[in-house]
Structure 1
Amino acid sequence: MANESTLRFGAQTDEVTSLLRIVNMVRTGEAVTRPEIGRVTGLGRGVVAQRIDRAVEMGFLEDAEYAPSSGGRAPRTLRFRAERGRLVVCALGGLHIHVGVTDLAGDILAETHRAWDIATGPDETLAAATALIDGLLQADDGTAVWAVVVGLPGPVDFETGRPVAPPIMPGWNGADVRRVFEDRYDAPVWVDNDVNLLAAGERARRRDEAVDLIYCKVGTGIGAGLVSRGRLHRGANGAAGDVGHVRVPGSEHVCRCGKTGCLEAVAGGWALVRDAEAALPEGATGMLGEISASGAELTPEDIARSAERGDPLSISLIQASARHVGEALAALVNMFNPSVIVIGGAIASAGELFLAEVRHRVYELSLPLATRDLVIKTSENDVSEPVRGGVDLAREQLFEVSLPRWFGEGRPTLTAVHGAAAAV
């Protein structure tokens, strides 16, 4: 490819810098005609034309329809060629696998889901996940995969893509998850905590804001994703937001992580199932009693649905969970001062019953200044949330973080994005 030696690996000449900016401006819709690009960048007409011709030659941009006329000849718009590549998201939960394929604009082309126990271990789980992805890609038109994002329900070292002592994932500690997907799809891979994917999805809904946001997932386990001024905050080692293992004063319940009194061991979905099963033999009745009597295994979703329908035991469990979660979030509010808290997950799907108690505790225990403009809401409950969040993370890494390193190649490569170590 012409000028490859100049462009590859982020050589920061004025030409490359302006070329990268123009591609991203068209991709994001900031400016989509040649006159608009000239006004925003301050580049001369001839330079803009030259840069655009180069971007078209490289396959990033193409001419599209004409824009509305403002009196003279209508300018032709440009479009980013989002169809050139595919983004793949694999969201692994405690009890499910959810995968999706999108174009480079983030439009979902296909997705699928299956029940799966993450405790099965990395080899079988990743084989099942890649089989689902392969099925979606085989039904596609053969367009190359440009990036893969994997979400895991536990702490992840984002730099290496390896889980670190995940409490509900026996056998996963240090597993080279990234390498499995890189070898299979020959594309850059990013591995992150599953709640960070959900936080990225909420961030994408507010792209015009430099938002400070907490996404708290209260499902089988409990975790939080933090967005600071529009950027995911992972902390020094990827452990930021692991609120599920904050100690609850006075609790003696043993957590799955091996410690005593963790928030998750008191308020997580598995803990509520434990408490429900302990209460039923003591004479508790209602919907949970009927489910148990039928021989079915209780789930966190059963408790949330039963609470919404007025089951007394479920209501008491949901309110107790919300109270403890609200107390933990209040500490985060005082330290982090978010503008938005989004509550999601199976237990939080009880809706206003859960949310009202969380709000009460947060506002009661947080500083007035920290809650003055705070919005606390439930998630959109979109089944595609993990895919949308993973795609937002992929596009951020490709087009905002690593674009200068791989732009000259015409598409992202492992070596360009992750360095020489990726090729070993």
Structure 2
Amino acid sequence: MTARPANAHQAHILRMLPKSGPNSRAQLGDSYDLSRSKLAVEVDRLLETGLVVAHGLAASRGGRRSHNIRLNPALRFLGVDIGATSADAAVTTAELDILGHLNQPIDVREGPVAVFEQVLDMAAKLRATGIAESFDGAGVGIPGPVRFPDGVPVAPPIMPGWDRFPVREALSQDLACPVMVDNDVNLMALGEQHAGVARSVDDFLYVKIGTGIGCGIVAGGEAHRGVTGSAGGIGHIQVAPQGPPCACGNRGCLEAHFSGAALARDALAAVADGHTGELADRLAASDTLTAADVATAASAGDAVAIELVRAGGSSVGQVIATLMSFFNPGMVVIGGGVTGLGHGLLAAIRPQVYRRSLPLATGNLPIVLTELGSQSGVIGAARLITDRIFSPA
């Protein structure tokens, strides 16, 4: 379905429906300052597009009962969240309810052609379950800077071969539907706003700590991307001038101190230097260490693992404290693969933020873990494309 609302009134009505479910015309009129006759005309035109459908009779208000309307339950959207080491794909309704969800390992360093072959295979598997014959639109998140108007990644540090690859154009042709592309952490923030812990907050930060570190900024209920789409790149804020080298080419970036890769690097170095705790046992069992191993070791009381979490979380807290003074959000949500560190991570971040920020900025500031986990990205991706489809043609 390629229909789009014809004007701003129709777009506004469409955006009201996902939040409130089926609505009568009278209920819509109560929430939207539009004359009854004009509202009736716009709803009838939306019904003709197929974007909305009648849904049972509305409660009587003392006259002829009208039908409720709702977003067409037959609409299907694909949300794709591509990370550095794994990808999630989900099919949702127009109301962003997930009907099917797949996750599989990938290596983003293999380049866009190889990664998209796997993404298209996941989409085909989801269609094969019978939940979707085709897609009315797709949203895609990638772990690097995206020139948002064009749907093109630009010089992504951890994604060799992706620079200026026409992601939106290529996937739109392969999926035969409209496609929107954004940085993955922006979509995680949108997902958390729609269905997670930030659903009642209009101004918040979503800090993703995984293979890389990024920040989704929601201001006034809308994602803030900056002029070129590079807002939120906090992983490349320098925290130590003489620190370890970063994939961006500089030294001492936050990401070089406390990403999943940095945690694994420092854990391996500690074992090589003679540490003989839980980390050494896990390395002996699997010949490698990951951020998940550090989380498990910290939970088991491994002193080095606990110190790695404390030091890394402290660095993250210092950067977030700076953002408090600049942006003054109502909430900070922590997500990404390193959230397996759980409340030990929050215990390292929170004191730095509260100690280094003005009391006015942090007096009632919640710093919390994501509620949605891996679903935040796919829900946000579906939200991205539905917002586009429900905008005026």
TM-score, normalized by length of structure 2? Answer: 0.91
What displacement does 1:50 show?
4.3
Structure 2 Cα separation of the partners of residues 279 and 44 of structure 1? 69
Structure 2 Cα separation of the partners of residues 208 and 272 of structure 1? 31
The 1:28–1:305 alpha-carbon spacing in structure 2 relative to 1, beyond 3 Å, is same
Structure 1 Cα separation of the partners of residues 107 and 40 of structure 2? 54
The CA deviation string for residues 89-130 of structure 1, in whole angstroms up to 9 with x for no partner, is: 111111001111111111111111111111111111111111
The match for 2:367 is 376
Structure 1 Cα separation of the partners of residues 337 and 17 of structure 2? 39
Percent identity at matched positions? 36
Structure 2 Cα separation of the partners of residues 128 and 98 of structure 1? 11
Structure 2 Cα separation of the partners of residues 296 and 309 of structure 1? 19
Amino acid at match of 1:171: G
Are 2:118 and 1:121 equivalent residues in the alignment? Answer: no
The match for 2:341 is 350
Amino acid at match of 1:120: E
Are 2:136 and 1:146 equivalent residues in the alignment? Answer: yes
The match for 2:215 is 224
Say which SS state the counterpart of residue 342 (structure 1) adopts: strand
The match for 1:259 is 250
Structure 2 Cα separation of the partners of residues 35 and 78 of structure 1? 9
Structure 1 Cα separation of the partners of residues 191 and 59 of structure 2? 32
Are 2:124 and 1:134 equivalent residues in the alignment? Answer: yes
The match for 1:173 is 163
2:205 to 198, 214, 226: 214
Say which SS state the counterpart of residue 306 (structure 1) adopts: helix
Report which stretch shifted further, 25-34 or 271-280.
25-34
The match for 1:285 is 276
1:297-336 counterparts in 2 under 5 A?
297-336=288-327
Native 8 Å contact 1:64 1:76 kept in 2:
no
Say which SS state the counterpart of residue 404 (structure 1) adopts: coil
Structure 2 Cα separation of the partners of residues 383 and 9 of structure 1? 31
The match for 1:78 is 68
Q: Which runs of 5+ in 2 are unaligned?
A: none
Say which SS state the counterpart of residue 214 (structure 2) adopts: strand
Structure 1 Cα separation of the partners of residues 103 and 33 of structure 2? 48
Q: How many residues align?
A: 390
The match for 2:54 is 63
Native 8 Å contact 1:326 1:359 kept in 2:
yes
The CA deviation string for residues 294-339 of structure 1, in whole angstroms up to 9 with x for no partner, is: 2332111111122122221110111110010101111111111111
The match for 1:196 is 186
Say which SS state the counterpart of residue 171 (structure 1) adopts: coil
Native 8 Å contact 2:238 2:254 kept in 1:
yes
Native 8 Å contact 2:137 2:385 kept in 1:
yes
The 1:136–1:360 alpha-carbon spacing in structure 2 relative to 1, beyond 3 Å, is same
Native 8 Å contact 2:336 2:373 kept in 1:
no
Structure 1 Cα separation of the partners of residues 363 and 64 of structure 2? 48
Structure 1 Cα separation of the partners of residues 372 and 340 of structure 2? 8
The 1:362–1:73 alpha-carbon spacing in structure 2 relative to 1, beyond 3 Å, is same
Say which SS state the counterpart of residue 377 (structure 1) adopts: strand
Q: Which runs of 5+ in 1 are unaligned?
A: 1-6, 11-15, 406-424
Amino acid at match of 1:65: G
Are 2:152 and 1:162 equivalent residues in the alignment? Answer: yes
The 1:9–1:294 alpha-carbon spacing in structure 2 relative to 1, beyond 3 Å, is closer
Are 2:260 and 1:269 equivalent residues in the alignment? Answer: yes
Native 8 Å contact 1:149 1:189 kept in 2:
yes
What displacement does 1:25 show?
3.9
Native 8 Å contact 2:189 2:376 kept in 1:
no
What displacement does 1:23 show?
4.4
Are 2:174 and 1:184 equivalent residues in the alignment? Answer: yes
* Higher radius of gyration, 1 or 2: 1
The match for 2:99 is 109
Structure 2 Cα separation of the partners of residues 58 and 165 of structure 1? 40
Structure 1 Cα separation of the partners of residues 110 and 55 of structure 2? 49
The 1:239–1:41 alpha-carbon spacing in structure 2 relative to 1, beyond 3 Å, is closer
The CA deviation string for residues 151-199 of structure 1, in whole angstroms up to 9 with x for no partner, is: 1111111111111111111111111111111111222211111111111
The match for 1:397 is 388
Are 2:356 and 1:365 equivalent residues in the alignment? Answer: yes
Structure 2 Cα separation of the partners of residues 208 and 217 of structure 1? 17
The 1:310–1:74 alpha-carbon spacing in structure 2 relative to 1, beyond 3 Å, is farther
Structure 1 Cα separation of the partners of residues 198 and 41 of structure 2? 30
TM-score, normalized by length of structure 1? Answer: 0.85
The 1:319–1:74 alpha-carbon spacing in structure 2 relative to 1, beyond 3 Å, is farther
The 1:386–1:275 alpha-carbon spacing in structure 2 relative to 1, beyond 3 Å, is same
What displacement does 1:65 show?
2.6
Amino acid at match of 1:137: R
Native 8 Å contact 2:146 2:230 kept in 1:
yes
